[in-house]
Chain A
Amino acid sequence: DQQVKQNSPSLSVQEGRISILNCDYTNSMFDYFLWYKKYPAEGPTFLISISSIKDKNEDGRFTVFLNKSAKHLSLHIVPSQPGDSAVYFCAASARQGAQKLVFGQGTRLTINP
């Protein structure tokens, strides 16, 4: 039972354009969502998060949108840069005391020059 899903295993975007990564979840108890970026052979790096009381959070080139009714969140990167090429994971938490995160399978983003 995969509670967090990233249905696109890969995405290719031209440099300077917008990258949109999507994530769906099934557990209505999730109330905190995060995006991580991961390079090969390295640990994931925290990018941005959003609480369920908000529908948008912005940090520089990164914006996360949350649609609670659709159980859907997305990460927008604009403008996309070559250094953004990496695997992106979304994660969700139900804040059950140990702050456990449930991760999606990841989307490999490639930014083309």
Chain B
Amino acid sequence: SQTIHQWPATLVQPVGSPLSLECTVEGTSNPNLYWYRQAAGRGLQLLFYSVGIGQISSEVPQNLSASRPQDRQFILSSKKLLLSDSGFYLCAWSVPPSDTQYFGPGTRLTVL
């Protein structure tokens, strides 16, 4: 069966510090991968998606970037965090042609 891992589970970072969140998927090949953010009391906002290694599409201009160095690994990064980057970050996967996405446990990021 497929599983998705995210780490760390929680993170507290000072403004201006770098960020690296990692997501890995097991039990499937060639998945589409997604990064979402849920701000406090808000819905899920799609940040990036990837249909293959090295292929990244950005949905919202922002302070963040994403990379996919391996088929089942998706990384969310920032060189300098802003207060507004605080939120709950979720990674998800799907396998075409299915539209159903399956989510990881999430990372709670607090920028102080």
A93:B99 contact, CB within 8 angstroms: yes
Contact (A101, B99) CB under 8 Å given A41-B106, A43-B105, A43-B106: yes
B90:A99 contact, CB within 8 angstroms: no
Highest count of chain B CB atoms <10 Å: which of A34, A43, A46, A97: A43
Q: Which DSSP category, helix, strand, loop or mixed, fits chain B's interface?
A: strand
State A103–B37 Cα separation when bound (angstroms).
Answer: 11
Please report the total number of A residues contacting B with Cβ < 8 Å: 24
State A46–B93 Cα separation when bound (angstroms).
Answer: 12
Please report the total number of B residues contacting A with Cβ < 8 Å: 29
* Residue in chain A with minimal CB distance to B9: A41
State A102–B34 Cα separation when bound (angstroms).
Answer: 12
B43:A89 contact, CB within 8 angstroms: yes
**A22, CB-defined interface residue at 8 Å:** no
State which of A44, A46, A95 has its C-beta within 8 Å of the C-beta of B44. Answer: A44
Contacts of B1 in A (CB 8 A): none
State which of A34, A42, A103 has its C-beta within 8 Å of the C-beta of B99. Answer: A34
State A75–B108 Cα separation when bound (angstroms).
Answer: 28
Contacts of B96 in A (CB 8 A): 99
State A45–B104 Cα separation when bound (angstroms).
Answer: 9
State which of B49, B57, B90 has its C-beta within 8 Å of the C-beta of A44. Answer: B90
Chain A contacts to B: CB under 8 angstroms: 32, 34, 36, 41-46, 49, 89, 91, 93, 95, 97-106
Chain B contacts to A: CB under 8 angstroms: 6, 32, 34, 36, 42-46, 49, 51, 57, 59, 88, 90, 92, 94, 96-106, 108
What would 13 A/B residue contacts be, using CB atoms closer than 8 Å? Answer: A36-B103, A41-B88, A41-B106, A41-B108, A43-B6, A43-B90, A43-B106, A44-B103, A91-B44, A98-B32, A99-B94, A102-B46, A103-B45
